[in-house]
Chains A and B, each alone.
Chain A
């Protein structure tokens, strides 16, 4: 791997020639890539563009063509933050090992009370005070392969959710692909759900029950669906599902996939890579994990599935699958609120610098506070 100056120099020189020829060729072909940048830059603020482009770049470095993942580099590059039991902007957090066997960690975010602005270690799991306290189990995104519960972007998002929903947020550090394929992430989600459900300190005073909502973005949204399905089968009450740009797919190439491929940070190729990394080997994208209402899926008709809030970004290339999901829920008679944010790209909810962010946060707050 390490190499002398001379060897490296020669190798780069040779490749550079190839690179320049390719570049010339592509410019002749009416440089379609430049058009993509123009479209992309027009719809997001500059700092958002830099953030998401940086992720895109870094993620390209991590995915190997043979389906393996450069986990060490991923962990090195991922910006992480520690938990903080001292309240910052009214929210404090701490990490809990939920399952020793799988090293399943979760980060719990709680609102700081005015009486004890500085909780000490004994009081981290002090019972929640409140007639009704929503507990949101959050599954971070990352296409099943990237990010962690302690990634800075998700720590920030969870903190915002605490404030916006006046909720306790439990962010689950589920096992990731490709090292851990289906159904590990769902199993971890299920373990977390059982754990949350059994915490007496999370019970609302009104009915001594834990008021659970499941929320997630991208792959986290996908996990929400599957964990909710399992909850229903096992009799644990989930009050609502929140899916932000959920990651669904299918074998067929939909119109939105073809139209938006490569235009707004995401390509079909990378989507395919992540599914190959998550699904069991040999399975295609019509596997029910990926396509829950597809040919191998199962209808939820007659099942008491939680109400769902599904947010779809209009510039997300997989929106056709997300819309199919919404249709699938409706057809099965399930309650679903569908929010279509026309000019939103992936990741719009990471920075509070756009209208979509504020709209969606408002809807989430309503969704969680409205008790039927």
Chain B
């Protein structure tokens, strides 16, 4: 161990970098400090010195103004604490410089303990103190918000025009004009109320545009975020507004009806997340008059990079629930980075079981076409057909964000997300609201600043999905009045006036102030005329 040299502030590197596994690490990982890796931190040995210096600076800052530090604690979002270097940097930059973009906002990620994908949930309850602090700040904010001047309104309108102009420049390729517009818009933002309304949404669009202009078309870099974070954000979006709840309720109702009379059922969930959709279905199946079926659930999800088997953990929790209501249940997790990487054999569907395929906001991700091969959506739809599901529930954003022209896409997104944010204003629960906004912000960033395979948020309206799915051999199952009733009842739980459910040719949509934002539909496989002869032979029913 070598000592600190006060003259040059240089550390000599010390300590062994032994790896815990018996194999030597691959070349590019050999610089990672092995001992810290065992402690859960990824940091290169060559970065240790720098990180140490920054930790020192943070400590000085902390000692000198403890009040700010505790503010940092209550206001901060921390991304990937394992990456020590960037974690320390983000704290340092937040603490010593003013934030210039909303995307640098930091917030306290509160996890909902009942569905955290971790057997090791803490038994410690929420401390009420946190919420008290938040509501006090919210109150003072609300006071500030009530003053909306005419100047602000004009500025808001100007901002929208400038945004469109900027997007048009981007479409034309005139990046220098676009970047000067960014500057102007940021100036204008200081005169607009950015806590709510167009000011807040504009801020996000400016960020996304800025990212596209200055950093080039992102390979998802503006989104960053680990699998774990995405799940947390999704969960808060679920809590803060009714869209996902509507999706789940509606899909579950359709699935229940389609699986009636079957004793072996298999639900395939295209995006398990925290499995929020399934407790309700499990409970509904338990209460089935004919008795619960044997339920298999296959949950597809992102692989966790740090070795946590989050799919399995969710599965365990769901299994426990099923056990408690006497529903025979098995779970299987299938980890895949992209839906198109899934092959049908991975789902292990038995011919005897009744299959339900559930896709909540996943199909649109398959619409990016790689010119060298088939459109992934066709491949996936075709193997879904091959599973012969009794029902496929599809929920998608009701928006046209996959148009080839950039300006069209941008404009559509601006109106869509303004409406979405507007509906979110009704939510008062923190930090659900704040994290839900981050969730939406990431979607915006993807629509606006990404292209090619990185752009996965390729929302299409229901009309387009109808055409596409019919063309792929599916026909629509009308969602019954039961589903409509469910959805309306759900809305009464939200005291916010402004949400509306609409029925449209058998599909339901949930909207804000008569603008539909999310649409749910159900589909079954169209019988293949040639196969119908075989079907009669095998006594299969296509009804």
Contacts and interface: CB of A to CB of B under 8 A. Distances in A.
Interface in A52-73: 53-54, 56-58, 60-62, 64-66, 68-73
B49 A46 contact: yes
Contacts of B129: 64, 66, 68
Contacts of A9: 98-100
Contact of B70 (A50, A65, A353): A65
A113 to B, nearest CB: 18
Contact of A53 (B12, B59, B434): B59
Nearest to B135: A1
Contacts of B14: 45-47, 353
Contacts of B11: 41, 46
Contacts of B82: 79
B167 interface: no
A351 interface: yes
Given A79-B39, A105-B120, A150-B120, A46 B70 contact: no
Contact of A42 (B4, B70, B119, B141): B4
A61 to B, nearest CB: 4
B52 A46 contact: yes
A150 B64 CA distance: 34
Contact of A23 (B15, B64, B193): B64
Contact of A5 (B33, B62, B99): B99
Contacts of B8: none
A2 B68 contact: no
B122 A351 contact: no
B385 to A, nearest CB: 37
Interface string A17-50: 0110011001000000100011001101111111
A175 B41 contact: no
Interface residues of B, number: 98
B243 to A, nearest CB: 19
B65 A4 contact: no
Contacts of B122: 71, 75, 148, 176
B35 A352 contact: yes
Contacts of B35: 47, 351-353
Interface string A134-164: 0000000000000010111100100000000
A54 B39 CA distance: 12
Contacts of A49: 52
Contacts of B64: 19, 22-23, 26
A82 B309 CA distance: 8
Given A152-B39, A156-B38, A4 B20 contact: no
A2 B55 contact: no
Contacts of A150: 120
- State the main secondary structure of chain A at its contact with B: helix
Given A1-B431, A4-B199, A79 B125 contact: no
Contacts of B40: 79-81, 151-153
A89 B43 contact: no
Given A13-B98, A354-B1, A6 B190 contact: yes
B123 A102 contact: yes
A51 interface: yes
A1 B75 contact: yes
A46 B48 contact: yes
A57 B200 CA distance: 32
Contacts of A352: 16, 18, 35
B402 to A, nearest CB: 30
Interface in B41-88: 41, 43, 45, 48-49, 51-52, 55-56, 58-65, 67-70, 72-76, 78, 81-82, 84, 88
Interface size class for chain A?
Answer: 35 or more
A2 B200 CA distance: 11
- Among B45, B62, B65, chain A packs the most CB atoms within 10 A around the CB of B65
A173 interface: yes
A103 interface: yes
Interface in B297-341: 307-309
B189 A53 contact: no
B495 interface: no
Contacts of A354: 1, 15
A303 interface: no
A7 interface: yes
B131 to A, nearest CB: 10
Interface stretch (B107-115, B209-217, B512-520): B107-115
Nearest to A61: B73
B309 to A, nearest CB: 7
A332 interface: no
B293 to A, nearest CB: 27
A71 B130 CA distance: 10
B343 to A, nearest CB: 26
A370 interface: no
A157 B56 CA distance: 27
Nearest to B43: A50
- Among B39, B91, B118, B121, chain A packs the most CB atoms within 10 A around the CB of B39
A3 B99 CA distance: 11
Contacts of B141: 3, 7
A190 B43 CA distance: 39
Contact of B20 (A26, A64, A79, A89): A89
B511 interface: no
A53 B43 CA distance: 14
B226 to A, nearest CB: 11
Contact of B56 (A16, A37, A62, A82): A37
B124 interface: yes
Interface in B99-158: 99-102, 105, 107-111, 118-125, 127, 129-130, 133-134, 137-138, 141, 144
Given A8-B105, A45-B15, A75-B122, A2 B111 contact: no
Interface in A252-274: none
B386 interface: no
Interface string B411-454: 00000000000000000001101100100000000000000000
A347 to B, nearest CB: 10
B531 interface: no
Interface in A96-123: 102-103, 105
Contacts of B76: 61
A4 B204 CA distance: 11
5 contacts: A1-B107, A2-B107, A4-B102, A58-B81, A180-B123
Interface of A: 1-9, 12-13, 15-16, 18-19, 22-23, 26, 33, 37-38, 41-42, 44-51, 53-54, 56-58, 60-62, 64-66, 68-73, 75-77, 79-82, 88-89, 95, 102-103, 105, 148, 150-153, 156, 173, 175-176, 179-180, 350-354
Given A46-B49, A50-B55, 8 more contacts: A45-B15, A47-B15, A54-B55, A61-B72, A70-B74, A70-B130, A352-B18, A353-B16
Closest 10 CB pairs of A and B: A79-B40, A152-B40, A4-B194, A353-B15, A179-B124, A45-B15, A4-B195, A61-B73, A2-B434, A45-B14
